[in-house]
Structure 1
């Protein structure tokens, strides 16, 4: 009902703003980028003196370029087009009109989302690692990691919570324990986190920062699942520790 009431207000606002839509020209004289493998165009390869082999680069550059993907990264797509289309303002307005029509059709049907997932299993790198790399003994982290929320380092490569933590909060679920965490009586009742900082999609090599590539994380999940089923078959005494 709330969505139906707000729909006319959104439609009115968008109809007013659509007349002011113009193409955006990016005329920045220079761009300086900071980040990790999501936008690394060659720093790690140059700094450590190695070049990732195929299939890196094969989709666009046809050869490895220092990027940890098979084509271009998001930062590559953010570059200015060489000849911006003059039809963009009209195209933008047309797009908004189409959006308005779809909005008027679908908004009355919208409902609030209910998160009723029994458990969550996460895979990834440092963006969602809640302690795997540290628990593996590969690296230790010190303050200021964790100082904002946990007050002490918590295995996360940030000074507070990660996106995965906020998602768990939104679903009213406890933070995910790292798969390799064995200290502090970890509870996997609501899921498990297999993400490890520095991990890659392709198998790890001798020069990799982290051995827990995506394939390894999937194998860890399969091992976790098999072991959980074994314990559940023994009775209900393990139900409070593992997903059922």
Structure 2
């Protein structure tokens, strides 16, 4: 289900927009009237995603590179004519192993993408949103950031940090018309499962009281509400979509 023209006249950047949750969000934003710019590391997938979503702009980049993020934001602003919405969906899992065996290089990469990259994107978006006097930022964290999944320490730590960053930025901008929130999904079956062991996938499913993985459309619906004008009294907040897993 979509809401006709809910995002009419709005301009949105979606990171991780070539697949999974990001692709679904971009498609729904466009279907409801927004102009959309897709950011993703996978240039080949971006070409397909552009057609699927009707995106006005695509940017192939590694969000862990702050200079690349600055260039991409400049390109998106030029293509869209401004910015109203940022959805940060890009992320990686890293290896499924114990802390004592976790490779330092892999740790740094997960933190660089999931935390530092998201920070660069949020930071680049704020001036454009402030110029508008309006904006919505939605950061995709994870239930792992609240509970800490075993054998996923870098991912869990990075997503916990995303929650903290969201709360901090939400408070900083609370006197403006910019709202900053995050969602904490439990496991959703997307291409990111290809980065996990089957043992870890089975563990995540066992923790969900509903007994199933979340649907991309279910997470997308929550993100799009938070990206809309309706989400006017929530900021620096964490919204669970976890099939009953969340305990706080």
RCO greater where, 1 or 2, for CA within 8 Å and sep 6 or more?
2
Q: TM-score, normalised by structure 2?
A: 0.23
TM-score by length of 1: 0.23
Q: Choose between structure 1 and 2: higher helix proportion.
A: 2
